[in-house]
Amino acid sequence: MIAAAEAPAFAPGAWLYVHPERTRPRPDGDAPRLVLFDRDGTLTVDDPPYNGDPASVRLRPSAREALDVLRAEHVPVGVVSNQSGVGRGLLTRAQVESVADRIEQLLGRFDAWVFCPHAPAAGCACRKPAPGLVLAAADALGVAPGDTAVIGDIGADVGAAAAAGATGVLVPTAVTRPEEIAAAPRVAPDLLAAVHSLLGRGPA
Active site residue 147: no
CA separation for the pair 145, 134 (Å, rounded): 8
CA separation for the pair 37, 129 (Å, rounded): 14
Among residues 30, 40, 47, 190, the one annotated as catalytic is 40
Among residues 38, 111, 153, 157, the one annotated as catalytic is 38
Task: For residue 82, list its beta bridge partners.
Answer: 116
Q: Are 75 and 110 in contact (CB under 8 A)?
A: no
Task: For residue 59, list its beta bridge partners.
Answer: 44
Closest CA relative to residue 154, chosen from 135, 132, 127: 127
Active site residue 53: no
- What would the DSSP string read from start to end of 44-111? B---STT---GGG--BPTTHHHHHHHHHHTT--EEEEEE-HHHHTTS--HHHHHHHHHHHHHHH---S
Catalytic residues: 38, 40
